[in-house]
Amino acid sequence: MTQACSRCGTFFKSERDVMFNDAGDVVCERCFDVGEIDAAGARTASWVKSTAYFSPLFAMGALIIWRLFSIPGLLLVVASVMSSAGVLATMFKNDGLRTRLGAHVLPASVFLLAAIGICVVGGLLLMLGGF
């Protein structure tokens, strides 16, 4: 084998070591694994972004459903609080994820906290029969 990994330049010892990444480049097993972790990190980051930015909308929708249909809406409100808190926890436990999110960390956190606030305040108002 005279072929080498396109990432790190290691020469392949045998045909079995040759792998192809998402871009179709020839890579060794080690670089392939790194690429997989990278892709998983990118997916997590975009999941966090979309969940965070939609969480206040989801919270308000859940409250409206609670107002109209009670129990299913209540469950959605609880789910909304849990998912917002879960995304926040994921973001703060994972340094790599925060690095990847960069400038999105602050607005995403604010949106998630806002969603939790909307659920708590809206939920209290609903339970007290305020709206």
**31 forms part of the interface with Zn ion (CB under 5 A):** yes
* DSSP state at residue 7: T
**12 forms part of the interface with Zn ion (CB under 5 A):** no
Sorted by sequence, the CB contacts under 8 Å of residue 110 that are 6+ apart come out as: none
CB 7 → Zn ion: shortest distance, Å? 4
Tokens describing residue 61: 């929708």
**49 forms part of the interface with Zn ion (CB under 5 A):** no
**35 forms part of the interface with Zn ion (CB under 5 A):** no
Interface residue with Zn ion among 1, 3, 8, 96 (CB under 5 A) is 8
Judged by CB under 5 A, which stretch of 12-20, 22-30, 92-100, 120-128 contacts Zn ion? 22-30
Judged by CB under 5 A, which stretch of 23-31, 57-65, 111-119, 122-130 contacts Zn ion? 23-31
Instruction: Give strand ranges (E) for 1-131.
Output: 19-20, 26-27
Interface residue with Zn ion among 12, 28, 48, 122 (CB under 5 A) is 28
Measured CA distances, 24 to 2, 14, 36, 120 (Å): 19, 19, 13, 49
For residue 5, count CB atoms less than 10 angstroms from its CB and return exposed for 0-12, middle for 13-18, buried for 19 or more: buried
Instruction: Catalog residues that contact Zn ion under the rule CB under 5 A.
Output: 5, 7-8, 28, 31
